[in-house]
Structure 1
Amino acid sequence: MTRPRILCISFSDITADSRVLRQLDVLAEFGDVTTLAYGPKAPAALDHLAVPRSLPSLPQTPVGVLKLVLRRYRAVKLEAPAMKAALAAVSGRSFDIVVANEARALPLAFKIEGDPHIWCDLHEWAPEERTHVSSWRLLVAPFMRWICEVYLPRVEVSTTINDSIAAMYTEAFGVEPAIVRNAIAYRRDLKPVQTDPEIVRLAHSGGAVPGRNIEAIVEAVELLGDGYTLDLYLIPSREGDSYWRGLMRQIEASPRTTLHPPVAPHELPDVLNAYDLGVFVLPPLTPNHRHMLPNKFFDFVQARLGLVFGPSVETDRLIAHHQLGVVTEGYTAADIAAAIRAIGVDDITRFKKNADAAAYELSSARDLETERQILAQLSAC
């Protein structure tokens, strides 16, 4: 029996995109996978069509921006430099199934030859992804909403990261996405590490980009003083050079903070397991921030850490339900320090034990089964 030809589109570097890497492993169970993305080929892909990293996936050329201003969305939907390169790369190829990662990939997905079945994985709430940036809010947000209005009702399957964001898609566009969280694989081999009563070890991992509030965490560990350390595993931003330089100056001035090289997604639980509390406090600059359920939440759980998170609908609920840690009052360094200062060694031990108990439920097992059901459905069509 001939295996389906599957095209996976993602305007990210797949080798550093843990969500898409998990997705690819499932795709490879069902068919022969070609990836169309930035960066090198991922292990699960049979073939790879590389889009040059330097090409933006949104129409940021002068002509493209003018068309966004004039709301000429049909004329601009495939005009972004990365879109043009992607179209050229798939020219003459046909596929049975196309997976479009994020709404911006949908116009391209509907140009693929072979009349493929289309699954759109809406990682987050596309219409307001970066509305804290004025140019994005004024020009790109209406374009993303138009893409969702035109294309989402035409896809056969859609998915997104949590119930809150799924409800937003249902209300706005009449679609009912299935839930595929950013959870990672269950780590049966990891257990909680005993906390040193003399030193509480804090950890944070992820992208070092403006808005992530990393500087507040660094400031908080200085407010906490002796008996606390902070270890950072950061991925520098391609577009945030000035922010990165300022953050480096702050880290270098903090004797309690240590910066480490970034760690591959599958290695993070092993590395983080040595710490006590995973810290992530994201100000609600966008609806996605207010309804976040980020991969680092699941990284910390699999590492068997206690959690210190800023207020957010989905993480608040899970932290309370599983008794995994604390939610700060707000998003400032003082808020973070106050929340951590109130946590005793016995609390940390209890949080770690609860993370261990919840690790399977909060692993990717359920999400991978959802993806398998989707692909079984599409393969049978």
Structure 2
Amino acid sequence: MVDGSPRRRILCISFSDITADARVLRQIDVLAQLGEVTTIGYGSRPDAATEHLAIEPSLPSLPQTPAGVLLLAARRFDRVEFQGPAVRRALELLGDLRFDLVVANEARAMALAHRVADGAPVLADLHEWAPEERAHVTSWRVLVRPFMFHQCAKYLPRMSAVTVVNGSIGEMYRRRFGVRARVVRNAGPVHDLEPQPLMPERIRLVHSGGAVPGRNLEALIEAVRALGPRFTLDLYLVPSRDGGRYLGRLRDAIGDDTRITLHDPVPPHELAPTLNAYDVGVFSLPPLTPNHRLMLPNKIFDFVQARLAVVFNSAPETDRLIEGHGFGTIAPDHTAEAMRDTLAALTPERVWEFKQNAHCAAAVLNSTEDSAVTRSAVAELLGDPVQPVSRSEPPSST
């Protein structure tokens, strides 16, 4: 931006509770450096946004109405793309507002972004592999999967820039849709923390994330219940939109085991300092979809910033980081038995070594370089001079 010129108007679309969406919050922080940001999505206004247009949380972003489902089943995708209740509400809220740049978070926002852009450039942050996001759910696979493939084929060639979470998923978009995506990982900001010493005869496990069916939290609980008294597990979980039913199932799985504790979630900026009190971050996810198989979740970066050792089930992208930086060990699969056996083999000396290696990795595995990728892409689209982005660790591809 040239000094003295008006601040450009940037629209950020995300069908999420943005104030709880760490990736989108980091994105907005970058956008706010380059213009006045209007956000539209669920929840309240993010701190860095100038204006927020709130969509009622009860309105789904997909066309889950009876008419919408019929159109999906009939493959009338061009007719149904604006039938999602949240999409219709977004069009009402945006009215005739105009912007210099529009950012669409995830594929479900691309049609809306293209319509409201009115010729302005659109950046699509696809996050993960959109066409098969929930392909393990039968109704989603039958009705939504073809719609998502159609949306990607229709709108990705019209995007001015595309970003994704890792190189493996970016390669999938290149092969299927012919687009080249820049990599913006789910890494958070660097935190000035130190590894905390282990307690005698105790290894404190911790997990943070969504309380969502399919995240295999039951396997973590089962693994710890099968281990000896030196292991504890603390869970910091964001409730799903099911009225607490899934959290109730987890409480039933925990039963009377006092070594396992459920906590309320903490804000993204407080997560690493909170996790710093523990020893090992744990995560296990069945490879039900391409996104699961090629996962690079924000929690691995959260655990590193918290200076924790990690135990994850095997997946190409996370294996590369864990082995490359030496801050953890890898369970051979996603089962409770594999997690139990991998944890049982940990010694205090090994955990402390992993924590020290995480401390070294924290200087690299943070959002500094990823924010620079976003800043470079946005500046190019706004016509600003940009500095080249260099990565200390090149993104992987398959």
With the length of structure 1 as denominator, give the TM-score of the two structures. 0.98
Question: Which residue of structure 1 aligns with residue 125 of structure 2?
Answer: 121
Question: Which residue of structure 2 aligns with residue 139 of structure 1?
Answer: 143
Give, in angstroms, the shift of residue 358 of structure 1: 0.7
Equivalent of 1:150 in 148, 154, 169: 154
Structure-2 separation of matches of 1:105 and 1:136: 17
1:1-381 correspondence runs (5 A): 1-187=5-191, 189-239=192-242, 241-380=244-383
Structure-1 separation of matches of 2:83 and 2:161: 26
CA contact (8 A) 2:213 2:246 kept: yes
Deviation string 1:183-203 (CA, Å, 9 cap, x unpaired) is 00011x201111123101000
CA contact (8 A) 1:57 1:80 kept: yes
Structure-1 separation of matches of 2:343 and 2:306: 19
Give, in angstroms, the shift of residue 259 of structure 1: 1.1
- Aligned letter for 2:132? E
Deviation string 1:155-192 (CA, Å, 9 cap, x unpaired) is 010000001000000000000100000000011x2011
Structure-1 separation of matches of 2:85 and 2:250: 31
CA contact (8 A) 2:102 2:117 kept: no
- Aligned letter for 1:323? G
Structure-2 separation of matches of 1:242 and 1:186: 35
CA contact (8 A) 1:221 1:229 kept: yes
SS of 1:120's partner is strand
CA contact (8 A) 2:101 2:117 kept: no
> What's the Cα RMSD here?
1.0
Structure-1 separation of matches of 2:104 and 2:242: 24
- Higher mean C-alpha deviation, range 247-256 or range 20-29: 247-256
- Unpaired runs of 5+ in structure 1? none
- Aligned letter for 2:366? S
CA contact (8 A) 1:199 1:229 kept: yes
Structure-1 separation of matches of 2:167 and 2:200: 39
Structure-1 separation of matches of 2:380 and 2:243: 42
CA contact (8 A) 1:164 1:291 kept: yes
Give, in angstroms, the shift of residue 375 of structure 1: 1.4
SS of 1:224's partner is coil
Deviation string 1:286-336 (CA, Å, 9 cap, x unpaired) is 100000000100000000000000111100111111111111022121111
Give, in angstroms, the shift of residue 240 of structure 1: 6.9
SS of 2:115's partner is coil
With the length of structure 2 as denominator, give the TM-score of the two structures. 0.94
Structure-2 separation of matches of 1:376 and 1:205: 34
CA contact (8 A) 2:165 2:186 kept: yes
Query: What is the aligned residue count?
Result: 380
Question: Which residue of structure 1 aligns with residue 388 of structure 2?
Answer: none
Structure-1 separation of matches of 2:291 and 2:166: 11
